[in-house]
Chains A and B, each alone.
Chain A
């Protein structure tokens, strides 16, 4: 048994180094793979790839900077840090927060010692991606000015109940493209014949045309391709150009179908409990999250509707039942340098809490999420609230945090092949 390694992602190389390095296709195992590789070089992806996944602490966490919870969780593991030192002092809780979120797909893959980026693993077990667990620990650093004195732990269990962004669950969306496969395959065969007719007089060496074509169709191609001259490559390129249009359109249609799955509207439900280690109230939250992209991925809306029960644990305080409504709008903005590839994500959020035993509380937040490299991001948030739980005074707070998405970090640090996996819905 032999493994014929496939070519590296030539489109990426061409993107970085220019089309001249498309000669990497000469490592293709057969002429058909060479043609596919060269066609990929000619393609320009029209699909953007923004997905909002909540690596940050749950919105209920004391010093978290997410006003709204997102429906999607990181694919494997996420973490966030919100140190009190990087937040302005305020009446709102001043605490050091550390949170971790684990996707059950990541746990499942770890348990079975499977590579979670492997397509076969993904097809077999992607349903686990719908479930995520997160835990947050807040260490209060200034309990006198905080409305929730003492340390707290916040736990969240979340499940996507509608709009699975999984190809395994939605593969039938590609079926309308299947009839195109005949024309695409024909064109690859046609290009191969044209190339064979060109190369045969040069490299035929007395073989029959059948033997020569068989050589090109099989593993002998790579040896022959190593001998191609610049003139050969130019002529072959012209022949590929003649019949590449249908293949390019097909690849782009596949990418668009994958993208549509990746940005499907999504609804998730979660249960969150925030438990105070001291005499502060405990909070229990049942929540529905709706997440939708608009205008072909140009902006995103996340809505939360929750019922909160705040369990008072002192005689001086009262239980509260709260209807909480949150709306967050995000717009990915490409700027310069790294942020041209990974856009900055400004978002504007508003929250209204209507509860028993108290007047409504309104919050507004502006957040700028700056993607850093290797899965890290820095959210910068400014939040206003008309009153806190301890009194009728308005409060404003600015904070800087740090989030980490392991799957994104691995992809960022990995090979071009893994970057292709990035385009798979869910990764």
Chain B
């Protein structure tokens, strides 16, 4: 910290998901001349050991989905997680942790499908290599 946030589309912070709908996440490192690693973890409030996703690899973009299964022709369609709220709760909190040691900036886009409604499009710029950032997104079921 502090990480600077540039909103192309201000984050909705959460979404209600009906049957047949899903939320698509796309995380993109802002490219350096030599490429850059994505270093992140994606966890649910009660699914973090092991985390839903954990990655430290050089990739141009990474996609994953929460909600109903996405069509198989969507990129990385196998990275799918069904909401799993705690008993008695109607919301499920997901947190994305970003580490900036390999990469100075990430762009995160979240879109509600099938209506293709953009929920956020934000670029996170680190100020120092030891910065890290958390992005919380709540899903209603």
Task: Output the residue of A174, A175, A208, A217 with the most chain B CB within 10 A.
Answer: A217
| Of A31-39, A50-58, A296-304, A307-315, the one touching chain B | A31-39
Chain A residues near B91 (CB-CB < 8 A):
209-210, 213
Chain B residues near A425 (CB-CB < 8 A):
129
Contact A217 B11 (CB under 8 A): yes
Give the complex CA separation of A2 and B15 in angstroms: 21
User: How far apart are A415's CB and chain B's nearest CB, in angstroms?
Assistant: 11
Give the complex CA separation of A347 and B37 in angstroms: 42
Q: Mark A12-52, 1 if CB is under 8 A from B, else 0.
A: 00000000000000000111110111001000000000000
Q: From DSSP, what is the main secondary structure of chain A's interface residues? A: helix
User: With A213-B93, A217-B11 in contact, do A258 and B130 touch (Cβ < 8 Å)?
Assistant: yes
Q: From DSSP, what is the main secondary structure of chain B's interface residues? A: strand
Chain A residues near B140 (CB-CB < 8 A):
208, 210
With beta carbons under 8 angstroms apart, the residue of B101, B129, B136 that contacts A192 is B136
Contact B32 A186 (CB under 8 A): no
Give the complex CA separation of A218 and B108 in angstroms: 14
User: With A189-B45, A219-B10 in contact, do A167 and B135 touch (Cβ < 8 Å)?
Assistant: no
- Decide if A4 is an interface residue (CB 8 Å cutoff): yes
Considering only residues 117-158 of chain A, those with a C-beta below 8 Å from chain B are: 119-120, 122-124
User: How far apart are B93's CB and chain A's nearest CB, in angstroms?
Assistant: 5
Give the complex CA separation of A30 and B14 in angstroms: 13
- Decide if B8 is an interface residue (CB 8 Å cutoff): yes
Give the complex CA separation of A219 and B130 in angstroms: 24
Contact A4 B128 (CB under 8 A): no
- Decide if B75 is an interface residue (CB 8 Å cutoff): no
- Decide if A319 is an interface residue (CB 8 Å cutoff): no
Contact B49 A123 (CB under 8 A): no
Contact B129 A185 (CB under 8 A): no
- Decide if B95 is an interface residue (CB 8 Å cutoff): yes
With beta carbons under 8 angstroms apart, the residue of B5, B90, B125 that contacts A210 is B90
Pair count A-B, CB < 8 A? 203
- Decide if A409 is an interface residue (CB 8 Å cutoff): no
Task: Output the residue of B54, B129, B137 with the most chain A CB within 10 A.
Answer: B129
With beta carbons under 8 angstroms apart, the residue of A1, A182, A420 that contacts B51 is A182
Who on chain A is nearest to B105 by CB? A120
User: With A2-B10, A33-B1, A167-B129 in contact, do A123 and B95 touch (Cβ < 8 Å)?
Assistant: no
Q: Which residues of B contact A (CB under 8 A)?
A: 1-8, 10-16, 30, 32-33, 37, 39-43, 45, 48-51, 54, 56, 90-91, 93-97, 99-105, 120, 125-130, 132-138, 140
Between A and B, 10 residue pairs with Cβ closer than 8 Å are A2-B6, A3-B7, A6-B4, A32-B135, A182-B54, A183-B48, A193-B93, A211-B14, A220-B13, A254-B101
Q: Which residues of A contact B (CB under 8 A)?
A: 1-9, 29-33, 35-37, 40, 119-120, 122-124, 167, 171, 174-175, 177-179, 181-186, 188-190, 192-193, 208-211, 213-220, 250-251, 254-255, 257-258, 417, 420-421, 423-425
5 nearest A-B residue pairs (beta carbon): A217-B13, A185-B97, A214-B14, A6-B2, A218-B13
